[in-house]
Structure 1
Amino acid sequence: MTKELLTCENVSKSYRDGHHDLEVLQGIQFSLQEGELVAIVGSSGSGKSTLLHCMGGLDKPTSGRILFRGQAIDRLSSRALADWRNQELGFIYQFHHLLPEFTALENIAMPLLIQGQSARQAQQRAQQLLERVGLAQRGQHRPAELSGGERQRVAIARALANAPALVLADEPTGNLDDETAQQVLELMLELNRELQTCFVIVTHDQQLAARLPTQVQLHHGKLVSAKQAGRT
């Protein structure tokens, strides 16, 4: 039996634009279950990334609440919020955001060191993840020495370093060619099945979204549909 992991309760977000408020999200309401695999789809400017940032505690809703296992994350202190992100979340972006001066192994180990693990423990875990994403022999290479697909695989491994309950991915295949994008997507699908980690993938690619069992569609900041495993 799956358990509810994260809930958006009537989430709205607006920004001040001169003398006007620009509404980016309007009354978003849906829930994620543990181990779920979800696509958030919509055209550019539909609010996809803003919703993802609110879900990850990187931005706060103007109104409404986001609950993680029943706890309102907007009520956490800055320190508690940072600890929560480090322990429970993984992030993957369109651009890999790997630290260029560090090796692939060191980039993956970084979240573990921040969490307080020893260098030996962190490196062992990082090496295991490198092997899992098919890069066992590339650990000592820096990002500039890796292909685009390899860099994104390292970014996925880094997102999984702390064994998070939830991984938030913002256009993770957006900078990749079609073949490499399919390989990266397959890897995320496999990891979801193996680890039972909940993945939320923001994308404008309808074909990619169709590969995921649940799709949440946004249009001008509003939730217009949520399709699950063949039912609406």
Structure 2
Amino acid sequence: MTSELLRCEHVSKSYWDGNHHLQVLQDVRLSLHEGELLAIVGSSGSGKSTLLHCMGGLDQPDSGQILFRGEAIARWSPRKLADWRNQHLGFIYQFHHLLPEFTALENVAMPLLIQGQTAKAARRRAEQLLERVGLSARGSHRPAELSGGERQRVAIARALANKPALILADEPTGNLDDDTARQVLQLMLELNQELQTCFVIVTHDQQLADSLPRQEQLHHGRLVPKQATQR
């Protein structure tokens, strides 16, 4: 068994919507290990994105805690939390969130430059990643010049730039047609195996979830384990 990477301990989260109190997450308990591949599936509005934001330190639970390699992230300073996200996490969203004025290569290199790497080293790493996701010939193109699937591949390359231990993917295929979605999913499966990067993929697509070795279902704010189809 590989070592534990991240753990959610009794995580609960609620919001106020006008005069209504909405309980989004209830006593969520989840353990992730190095190199694991997990789908979290649930209907729209079930709290999947909220859970992902808590796991990534973008939001704080009302109660419970998130631990990364045994350390409670809520105890960290804002600076340490930001450095942790930059060094150890990668994020992929339904909409690619690429910077439109920059090329594909520049978008992938951006996290490396923020981390303090030289322009030469960042460019070399970005070129390697674009080649791995099948876009070595598209590095000079801006997002508007790329297809939806190509933009999402660039977003995956960007998420991997700093060799993170954990990728948090929020509906990464939700804005793609079926064929392109399958290709993007297959790419993530291959990268998980090659790099031993842990992937957590949040989705409402049950077919996608069933293709992963482990899945959890969010039901009324609680995680319910489900036996997924083995690859």
TM-score by length of 1: 0.97
Distance (Å, rounded) in 1 between the aligned partners of 2:132 and 2:113: 20
Deviation by residue 1:52-89 (Cα, 9 ceiling, x = unmatched): 00000000000000000000011111111000000000
Unpaired runs of 5+ in structure 1?
none
Partner secondary structure for residue 137 of structure 1: helix
Matched, 1:70 2:39: no
Question: Would the aligned equivalents of 2:212 and 2:228 in 1 still touch at CA under 8 Å?
Answer: no
Matched, 1:127 2:127: yes
Q: What residue number does 2:169 align with?
A: 169
Give the share of equivalent positions with the same residue, in percent.
Answer: 79
TM-score by length of 2: 0.97
Distance (Å, rounded) in 1 between the aligned partners of 2:169 and 2:143: 19
Q: What residue number does 2:146 align with?
A: 146
Question: Would the aligned equivalents of 1:215 and 1:226 in 2 still touch at CA under 8 Å?
Answer: yes
Unpaired runs of 5+ in structure 2?
none
Q: What is the root-mean-square deviation of aligned Cα atoms in Å?
A: 1.1
Aligned length: 230
Question: Would the aligned equivalents of 2:210 and 2:229 in 1 still touch at CA under 8 Å?
Answer: no
Q: 1:222: Cα distance to partner?
A: 1.1
Q: What residue number does 1:56 align with?
A: 56
Question: Would the aligned equivalents of 2:88 and 2:163 in 1 still touch at CA under 8 Å?
Answer: yes
The code of the aligned residue for 2:2 comes to: T
Question: Would the aligned equivalents of 1:153 and 1:184 in 2 still touch at CA under 8 Å?
Answer: yes
Q: 1:201: Cα distance to partner?
A: 0.2
Distance (Å, rounded) in 1 between the aligned partners of 2:148 and 2:19: 42
Q: What residue number does 1:212 align with?
A: 212
Question: Would the aligned equivalents of 1:45 and 1:220 in 2 still touch at CA under 8 Å?
Answer: no
Q: 1:126: Cα distance to partner?
A: 0.1
